[in-house]
Structure 1
Amino acid sequence: MRRSAGFTLVELVMVIVLLAIIATISVQFVTLSTQGALDVGSRQKRALQGVVVSEQVSRELRHAFPLSLRTSGSCIEWLPVLSATSYIGLTRGPGFDEIDVAPFASVPSLGDARALIYGYGSTTVNDLYSTSNPGVVSPLISSIDNSVSPAVINLSAAHRFSQRSPERRLFVIGTPVSLCQSGRFLYRYSDYGSNPVQPAPPVTGTREVLAANLTGAMDFSFNPPTLQRGALVSFSFTLEDPHSGESTPVSQEVQIRNVP
């Protein structure tokens, strides 16, 4: 009599055990592969965010008047240059409220614009944020007549400049701008007015989020211009993944080429 073909209980148990081992290895492999892909995506996202933030900060700083830069803790402040030209004659009596200049290639938007002449030498950075008369920064510009030659800048009040530029350069500057870190966020402040003492951070004006997920203190440093190079601003910050806790350090240097 022939025996019936089949599996013994031991063989079935062995097969089940082997399948369980294979399934466990397969699941672990898929899990690790998926986690690896997520980690790579997170790193790429932080790297892209670091590039975007660095480029935004760099573009802002490149428009700064070099000696207006000042830092305090995790804040940096500067006066943005809206336009520049050469002056032909400074304010003179009786009104002391007109400046003759070479015509602008493009008339700057006025708003809260002011005229700045030189600002080097014995001038301190805080003097650039003051509109005292005499001084290096004028009162508000009320209008610019660019249709005549020479063009004329009309000031809202009488003003005499305390310095002259060796190259007769005149800058039209806007209201101060600040970047300040607060906790995990980097903010951009504007439209808060000018103060001889740096506000860190400003308490009025407009505040915009420039970056998030920062860890540690954002560090700003400033090297003033010399005869061999322009002003140099260095900044560094670290971005952190809120889920994994993995961090990405970012550092950048910006050369500011505006000259007197």
Structure 2
Amino acid sequence: MKRQCGFTIIEIVATLLVSSILAVGIIGYIGDAVEGFATSGNRNKLATSGRVVVDRLAMELHNAVPNSIRITAAQPAGDQCLEFIPFVGATNYVDPPFTGPGGTEFEVIDFNPVLTAASPAGLQAVIYPINTQALYDGGSPGPRSLVDEIEDTGGADGKVTVRLDASHRFSRRSPVARIYVAEQPVSFCLVGNRLFRYENYGFQSTQCTPSTPACLPTTAPDRKLISLSIDNASLAAYDIIPATLRRNAIVSMEFNFTEQGDEVRLKHEVLMRNVP
């Protein structure tokens, strides 16, 4: 009889056992690699999202009227608001009213780039804003007045005329004769895990928060969602480092972005370059 060739039961079992061990190792290796790739992608997405947020905040803060930045106290859940007054133009003034009952019209050096505004302009003329509370309170005398019109009467005198909405006296002269033309305040508020931008709510003597009744807008377009997935529990999103004799004020920001168990914490500081 011819001898038959094949595998014994022991050989088959041993082969299956070795193959299973190898398969488990390979699957685990592939699983770890896939998980690592997914985690890396998720963290990159969080970092990119965070960088967009801090870059936008930094860009807008660079156009803030000096000494207009104020923040609320950080809540245990991380809720906090930052508010400032953005300006659309700056130049040097010629003859604004600083004495007596004030006035309604004065001249400034041409804006660069050109800035004019028809009546009602809805803008604010700001001169030497060294007191944040006085800047938001308004009133005459004071550092801020509502502008009715900015008109370039032509000619080669290099000046434009600023007309105010009502008679006003500015409280102090700027050492560098600087005047800012500003818009209404804006706020960036962290509410839960979301960051919102608020605008067109006017000047408020006491800083508004989303929980302040009838203060900040509650719907678009005056409330815009900037970012999701922020967990700032026990963290302060904003802090102001006061100016010293050697540098201007600094706004410090810290956001903790989280998603699917991954966290990316970003810290950023913005040096305020504008001066009164």
TM-score (norm 2): 0.86
The worse-fitting range, judged by mean Cα deviation, of 145-154 and 76-85 is: 145-154
Say whether residues 1:105 and 2:112 are aligned partners: yes
Alpha-carbon distance in structure 2 between the residues aligned to 1:83 and 1:135: 19
Distance change >3 Å, CA 40–CA 221, structure 1 → 2? same
User: 1:67 deviation in Å?
Assistant: 0.7
Which digits, 9 at most, give the CA deviation of each residue in 1:124-157, with x for residues without a partner? Answer: 3121013312211012332332635332111122
Which digits, 9 at most, give the CA deviation of each residue in 1:32-78, with x for residues without a partner? Answer: 11111101111111111221111111111111112111110211111
Equivalent AA in structure 1 for residue 93 of structure 2: Y
Equivalent AA in structure 1 for residue 25 of structure 2: I
Alpha-carbon distance in structure 2 between the residues aligned to 1:46 and 1:195: 34
SS at match of 1:67: coil
State which of 132, 154, 158 in structure 2 corresponds to 1:147: 154
State which of 225, 240, 247 in structure 1 corresponds to 2:258: 240
Say whether residues 1:222 and 2:240 are aligned partners: yes
Structure 1 counterpart of 2:20:
20
SS at match of 2:167: coil
Q: Give the unaligned 5+ runs of structure 2.
A: 74-79
Alpha-carbon distance in structure 1 between the residues aligned to 2:127 and 2:262: 48
TM-score (norm 1): 0.91
Matches within 5 A, 1:30-45: 30-45=30-45
**8 Å CA contact 1:66, 1:231 repeated in 2:** no
**8 Å CA contact 2:125, 2:181 repeated in 1:** yes
User: 1:211 deviation in Å?
Assistant: 1.6
State which of 249, 256, 267 in structure 2 corresponds to 1:231: 249
Say whether residues 1:185 and 2:191 are aligned partners: no
Alpha-carbon distance in structure 2 between the residues aligned to 1:146 and 1:66: 29
Alpha-carbon distance in structure 2 between the residues aligned to 1:203 and 1:37: 42
Please give the root-mean-square deviation of Cα atoms over the aligned residues, in Å: 2.0
Q: Give the unaligned 5+ runs of structure 1.
A: none
Paired residue total = 255
Percent same amino acid among aligned pairs? 33
Distance change >3 Å, CA 87–CA 151, structure 1 → 2? same
**8 Å CA contact 2:101, 2:169 repeated in 1:** no
